[in-house]
Structure 1
Amino acid sequence: MIPEFGYFSLTLAMVLSVLLCIFPLWGAHTGNLRLMRAAPSLAVGQFVFVLVSFAALIYASLTDDFTVAYVAYHSSSTLPWYYKITSTWGGHEGAILLWLVMQAGWTAVVALRSNSLPWILRARVLGVLGFLGVGFMLYTLWMSNPFELLLPYFPVEGRDLNPLLQDPGMIIHPPLLYMGYVGLSVSFAFAIAALLTGKLDNTWAKWSRPWTMTAWGFLTLGITIGSWWAYSELGWGGWWFWDPVENASLMPWLVATALLHSLSVTEKRGVFKSWTVLLAIAAFSLSLLGTFIVRSGIIVSVHAFATDPDRGLFILAFLAIVVGGALTLYAFRVSQVHSEGRYKLVSREVALWLNNIFLVVATFIVLLGTLLPMVHKEMGLGSISIGEPFFNKMFAIILVPFAILMGIGPLLRWKQNKWSFLQNKLLIAALMSLVITAAWLYSSYAVVAPLTLLATTLAIWIVITTGVDLYVKATVQTNFSQGLKRLGLSYWAMVLGHVGIAFVIAGVTLTSAYSVERDVSMKPGEIVQLNQYQYRFEGVYTIRGANYSGYAGEVSVLKNDKLVTVLHAEKRHYDIGMQFMTEAAIDAGFTRDLYLALGEQLNNSGWSLRIYHKPFVRWMWIGGVLISLAGFMILGDKRYRTSKKSTDKSQEKLV
């Protein structure tokens, strides 16, 4: 009964979504205020019914209702309750339903928090979001029904959740990632609504910016946790290996980062209007492209869902309609867009525009490296591989000018700057960056590669120039302490985001350059040395979990004959799926991680182990968290917290 109720609720949500697509858009076109005013209620109603449908699927999983095909294929009675909830988005159909929850949730929040918008723009934004909801609900009901039943014959036990997904990271990673993916649809909707209205002024950028920031913050946090999951769960010590599915989340993030900076320029200076709209279209289009890559079956990945080509064709067709329609509308309207502000070569506008270009070029590199092998194979030309060396080399080239501009940009003024005002500050910052980096690295490591020195210097450069800008801004009219209090949350978000980027650059550089690994065969009592640590193998003992059994290897880690930690690395055998999984043991630290993975038992009664020493690896995730917090900090800015209702008298006369 509950599954049928969930399907019925989703069908009602589909009806409301169709009405949300039609009523407000037609009302805005004809000037009918009553139709436009129906949009918020339709948006909230749609969200309620989608949420009820999702709750029904969760209930079916928690109660082990194996008459539901999705529950039978992705859960089991022995699965812990929190992983039963996770299983509701651990497969294709449930993940799409989670997407719908996010889509409907964003639409409802926009409806409730956009009282200050003119009704015509508000109606068009919600109408576009309704159209996107129709597409995904149609896809769910028609091709990815999570409530399909196995009656009259159903199994007495489920197939269990993929062991790779039975990890705390996967409880929160997909929801956060989808919040970011779907949140970019709000930026897209604002851009399309502005094009339909024909008023691409500074105001729409101001309205769109906090929504974009929020979506970007969730997407950043989702990517960060996904990287941490790969590091902790896959057992090979890696944190990113340019998998097509990883690339699918990186591409919209890169474009969304460019969009945020472009929105800032459009809002404050009235320039880059057409470019900003194009970035908003591109960001969400790449989110849809990522959905196609993950769910079309054209790739094989630990992250990928679905192997049904018909589903891929539906998403591809929907992608073509959304992107094609948006670009067609853009082509018709772009000639009417005119920039208002003027600026010189040495100005903040130019610095932000150049950084936009570097981000778009980086996106194109990832897009090319991701799609070319797929296209090559589908055309019958054989398999080619574009892997880590290509991406690392290309991103290293882009990083240098990008990081330099990131340090210079905040120090520049709008419109124009005299180079003489900057050169002394930049020269001192550059010298300090080089001296600090050289002193740090050469005192810590015997060998320092030129590229390692360069990349770490760039990270320090970003921090120092951000500090210089903070000092200049705080002391421009008053003393330092009083000046700090006058700086707005938008500025502090910029500071936090830039420092986060510096942490990521330094973490990636240092862990890539100085990580050490060693494969060893050990018997109980034996000791091996790796860097300044001694690893003593204490032995293996059996373990038993809710739905698995296996072994755990105990290793004591010593430094200068003093115990540092005891690591317990596991080798699990899952009962139902009959799959083996490695659970690494990690001793985390601010400046290093000690990482241990248990291998197989050897014929000589010993065990194979893999030991890693990974310096500064945690800085990447610290940086990711700081960057995401920068996105959320914008929400506290007074400029974006108005809820005053629109007082446009001309609209009140509409009937």
Structure 2
Amino acid sequence: MIIEIGHFALILAFVLSVLQSVVPVWGAVKGDRRLMAVAPPVAGMQFLLVGIAFAALMQAYMVSDFSVLNVVENSHSAKPILYKITGVWGNHEGSLLLWVLILVLFGALVAAFGRNIPMELKAATLGVQGWVTAAFLLFMLATSNPFLRLSPAPMEGNDLNPILQDVGLAIHPPLLYVGYVGFSIVFSFAIAALILGRVDAAWARWVRPWTLLAWMFLTLGIAMGSYWAYYELGWGGYWFWDPVENASFMPWLAGTALLHSAIVMEKRGALKVWTVLLAILTFSLSLLGTFLVRSGVLTSVHAFATDPARGTFILGILVLFIGGSLALYAWRAPMLKQGGLFAPISREGALVLNNLLLTVATASVLVGTLYPLVLEVLTGEKISVGPPFFNLTFGPLMIPLLMAIPFGPFLAWKRGDLAAVGQRLYVVAGLALVAILVSAWWHGTQQILAALGVGLAVWVICGAAAEILSRARFADVGLSTGLARLAGLPRSAWGTAFGHAGMGLTLLGIVAVSAFQEEKVLTIRPGDSVEIADYTLNFSGLAHRTGPNYVDDVGHFDILRDGRQVAVADPAKRLYTARQMPTTEAGIVTFGLSQIYVSIGEVHADGGADIRLYHKPLVTLIWIGCLVMSFGGVLSLFDRRLRVGAPKPARRKVAAAGQGGD
């Protein structure tokens, strides 16, 4: 009965989404407040109904209801309860339901917290959100129903893909979905503004918090996915330029450009056309990623292999929303008024340079991702575009962007003085030069490119700190007043500094692990030792272990430094019995910011094993930097200047005026 309730809730949510997609938009165009007032309660009801459906599917997984086809295909009664829950979104139908749940969540959030948004814009935005919701609910009900029954019900399920039975799956997909599905509301704001012909600085301020929220979660989702692949797949890498990885990375790049463009539009009223276009393109790239993951055109550990009917349906959604939005943009963009003028050397100019480089970088990733697919369709030839292509195209675009980052916050609006900014950054440049020289001396001149990368990372990190410290003016006002000035800075200023510093930390981690890591691949037997970096690993042997739905062979390594044991590593070769599928469980030990990484390959009859051993210096900075960037997003999100309307100060002014009249 609970399953039927969930199915009916989805059908009712679809009906309401159609209502939401028509009535409020018509009311906004005609200026009918009664029709516009329909949007908020309908958006809230949709969230409630889709939430009921999601809870119904989760309940089926938790009790192992094998009368539901989706549960049979992706669960097992012996699976731990955590992975029963995460199995809800570890498959096509369930993850799509989570996708739609987050979609309607953002609509409900705008309905609940968008009190300061003009009624026409709010109604039109929720109406456009209803279009997207209706399309995906129809897709789910027509081709991807998670509530299909089986009769008779089997006694046991097929289990979840073993590599997805990990705590990372409990975190990675929800974070990722909040990220790129969150850009749907930014898309809806853009289309609503084009329909109503209202694109101004106030619009940019309404859009920026939602863009920031989506960007922040997408950053965390990509970072979590990177770390999950790093420790779960046993290959020791953090990024492989997999097409499905790229599918989430491209909206992040475009969303980063959108954030900076919205700042220029809010502050100076400029880049209106560019900002609206980026809002459309960012969500369009999210839709493209959805198509790549769910159409069956890709083979990836991240992708859901599906039938062609699903791919055709999603392709239709893609054409409808991307094509339709770009057509509307082409029609309305010439009518938008241009904003304020600015010199090339200015903060606006720096942000435009940032956006151009990010956009070109996004295009390079898009070409590398789609080119093999297009070539196969046209010629039947299969090729692979891997890391060498992306490193040679994407990397050079990032170098000038990273070099320019410290300059931007120091430049004045409208017209800046590049020479004066250079003088304020000479200490930062000196620190970067010292970092280059020390790195080149420590690792040798053959690693000069890596040394330059270290210097670039230090330049970005110290540049972020310098901008904040320059606002304190310690030399002029003293320590206590300087600290008071720092405490009084807008949170968005701190957010910018943390965001830029986080980028520098991630860059430093990438450079260090790419250039300075050590790797050994060997066969080891009980009693053998192997040395790497400053550590010695003693192999004690393998032990057989039985888990709830798997068996594995666990290797035990004592890690010594200077003859003293400092840690142990226990990598494993695991076999999931239901699917008879092996996985590798890496043994990872962290020392400061660096890690020892051990993974087991083939296990031999004599008790030995093939192992892959790494020493990865500063590798944790890759993900720490992402956390710092996201923390910067949190700080910016709570900047009081993003609270449009500020009703309390206005009321105080009115009250004061009234008292003066008495």
Give the structure 1 partner of residue 653 of structure 2.
Answer: none
* Partner deviation per Cα, 1:52-98 (whole Å, 9 max, x = no partner): 00000000111111110000000010011110011110110001000
Query: How much has 1:489 moved relative to structure 2?
Result: 0.7
2:324 is the counterpart of 1:322: no
Give the AA of the match of 2:434: V
**Equivalent position amino acid for 2:572 in 1:** E
Report the residue type matching 1:96 in the other structure: L
Contact preservation (8 Å) 2:467, 2:497: no
Distance, in Å, in 2 between the alignment partners of 1:88 and 1:418 is 55
Question: 1:505, 1:419 → 2: CA distance?
Answer: 25
Aligned equivalents of 2:305, 2:44: Cα separation in 1:
30
Please point out which of 442, 451, 454 is paired with 1:453: 451
**What is the Cα deviation at residue 4 of structure 1?**
1.1
Task: Pick which of 415-424 and 265-274 moved more.
Answer: 415-424
Question: Could you report, residue by residue, the CA deviation over 1:444-501 in whole angstroms, capped at 9, with x for unpaired residues?
Answer: 4345522212221111111222222112222299542122022101111100100000
Is structure 2 residue 288 aligned with structure 1 residue 289?
A: yes
Q: Partner residue of 1:406? A: 405
Partner of 1:597: 599
1:466 to 464, 467, 470: 464
Residue 96 of structure 2 is matched in structure 1 by 96
- Does residue 233 (structure 1) correspond to residue 232 (structure 2)? The answer is yes
| Displacement after TM superposition at 1:274 (Å) | 0.3
Question: Where do 5+ consecutive residues of structure 1 fail to align?
Answer: 647-655
The correspondence for 2:559, drawn from 554, 557, 560, is 557
The answer to whether the aligner puts 1:76 opposite 2:73 as a matched pair is no
Q: Secondary structure at the match of 2:580?
A: coil
Deviates more, 1:118-127 or 1:596-605: 596-605
AA matched with 2:396 = I
- The equivalences for 1:338-487 within 5 A come to 338-439=337-438, 441-442=439-440, 444-446=442-444, 448-475=446-473, 479-487=481-489
- Does the 8 A contact of 1:40 with 1:108 survive in 2? yes
Q: CA deviation at 1:330?
A: 0.9
CA–CA separation in structure 2 for the residues paired with 1:47 and 1:350: 41
Assess if the C-alpha contact under 8 Å between 1:590 and 1:619 holds in 2. no
Tell me the amino acid that sits aligned with residue 461 of structure 2.
V
- One-letter identity of the residue aligned with 1:450: I
Specify the code of the residue in structure 2 equivalent to 1:59.
Q
Alpha-carbon distance, 1:381 to partner? 3.6
CA-CA distance at 1:530 after TM superposition: 1.2
Residue 146 of structure 1 aligns with which residue?
146
1:13-44: CA deviations, max 9, x gaps?
11111111111111112221111111110000
Bigger relative contact order (CA 8 A; separation at least 6): 1
Letter matched to residue 258 of structure 1: A
For residues 241-266 of structure 1, what are the alpha-carbon distances to aligned partners after superposition, in whole Å with 9 as ceiling and x for unaligned?
01000000000000000000000000
Q: Match for 1:464: what amino acid?
A: C
Distance in 2 separating the partners of 1:67 and 1:644: 54
2:16 corresponds to which residue? 16
Number of the residue aligned with 1:176: 175
2:609 is the counterpart of 1:611: no
- Indicate conservation of the 8 Å contact 2:549/2:576, yes or no: yes
Structure 2 residue 50 is the aligned partner of structure 1 residue 53: no
Q: Is contact 1:114-1:643 (8 Å) kept?
A: no
With 452-461 and 124-133 compared, the bigger mean Cα shift is at 452-461
1:630 CA displacement: 1.7
Distance of 2:645 and 2:52 partners within structure 1: 28
| Range with greater deviation from structure 2 (479-488 or 325-334) | 479-488
Query: Is the 2:461–2:501 Cα contact (8 Å) retained in structure 1?
Result: yes
Q: Which stretch has the larger CA shift, 506-515 or 468-477? A: 468-477
* 1:238 match: secondary structure: coil
Which piece of structure 1 moves more, 520-529 or 496-505?
520-529
Q: Which amino acid aligns with 1:418?
A: D
Q: What's 1:649 paired with?
A: none
SS in 2 for 1:449: helix
CA contact (8 A) 1:115 1:643 kept: no
Separation (CA, whole Å) in 2 of partners of 1:354 and 1:264:
14
CA distance in 2, matches of 1:25, 1:292: 27
Match of 1:4 in 2: 4
> Does the 8 Å contact 2:468/2:494 carry over to 1?
no
Structure 1 CA distance for aligned equivalents of residues 123 and 326 of structure 2: 21
What amino acid does structure 1 have at the position aligned with 2:230?
A: Y
Residue of structure 1 in register with 2:654 after alignment:
none
Give the distance between the partners of 1:605 and 1:421, measured in 2 at CA: 67
State the shift of 1:604 in Å. Answer: 4.6
- Contact 1:534/1:557 (<8 A) preserved: yes
Alignment of 1:256-267 (within 5 A): 256-267=255-266
Consecutive aligned runs of 4 or more in structure 1 exceeding 3 Å deviation: 476-479, 641-646
Change (3 A) 1:35 1:644: farther
Alignment check: 8 A CA contact 1:121 1:193 kept: yes
Aligned counterparts of 2:122 and 2:495: Cα–Cα separation in 1:
27
Deviation (angstroms), 1:197: 1.3
1:113–1:643 contact (8 Å) kept in structure 2: no
Cα pair distance change 1:482/1:231, threshold 3 Å: same
What amino acid does structure 2 have at the position aligned with 1:509? V
Give the CA deviation at 1:389. 0.8
> How far, CA to CA, are the matches of 1:313 and 1:443 in structure 2?
57
Partner Cα distance (2:164, 2:254) in 1? 28
Whether the 8 Å contact between 1:635 and 1:641 is mirrored in structure 2 is: no
Please tell me whether the aligned partners of residues 234 and 582 of structure 1 are also in contact (alpha carbons under 8 angstroms).
yes
What is the CA deviation profile of residues 484-530 of structure 1, one whole-angstrom value per residue up to 9, with x for unaligned ones?
A: 02210111110010000001111111100011111122221111111
- How far residue 443 of structure 1 moved from its aligned partner, in angstroms, is 5.4
* Distance in 1 (alpha carbons) for counterparts of 2:85 and 2:169: 11
Alignment size in residue pairs? 644
Query: d(CA) in 2 for partners of 1:309 and 1:251?
Result: 24
Whole-Å Cα distance in 2 between the matches of residues 400 and 117 of structure 1? 39
Match of 1:528 among 527, 530, 534: 530
In structure 2, C-alpha distance between the alignment counterparts of 1:645 and 1:33, rounded to whole Å: 22
Q: Point out the more displaced range, 465-474 or 252-261.
A: 465-474
Q: Which amino acid aligns with 1:462?
A: V
Contact 1:271 1:340 in 2 (8 A): yes
Q: Distance in 1 between matches of 2:446 and 2:57?
A: 54
8 A contact 1:74–1:158 mirrored in 2: yes
Residue in 1 that maps onto 2:219: 220
Taking the aligned partners of 1:303 and 1:316, their CA distance within structure 2 comes to 19
**Aligned-pair distance for 1:99?**
0.3
Other structure's SS at 1:338 match = coil
Instruction: Go from structure 1 to structure 2 and tell me whether the alpha carbon gap of 1:605 and 1:465 turns closer, same or farther (over 3 Å shift).
Output: closer
1:199 and 2:165 equivalent? no
- How far is 1:641 from its partner? 3.3
2:571 alignment partner, SS class = strand
| Mapped contact 1:452–1:510 kept (Cα < 8 A) | yes
Residue in structure 2 matched with residue 135 of structure 1 by the alignment: 135
Over aligned residues, Cα RMSD in angstroms? Answer: 1.5
Provide TM-score, normalisation by structure 1: 0.96
1:296-351: CA deviations, max 9, x gaps?
00010000013211111111111111111111111111112222312112101111
Among the aligned pairs, what percent are the same residue?
A: 45
One-letter code aligned to 2:76: S
Distance 1:234 1:222, change over 3 A: same
Q: Which amino acid aligns with 1:451?
A: L
User: What SS does the aligned partner of 2:291 have?
Assistant: helix
- The answer as to 2:627 corresponding to 1:625 is yes
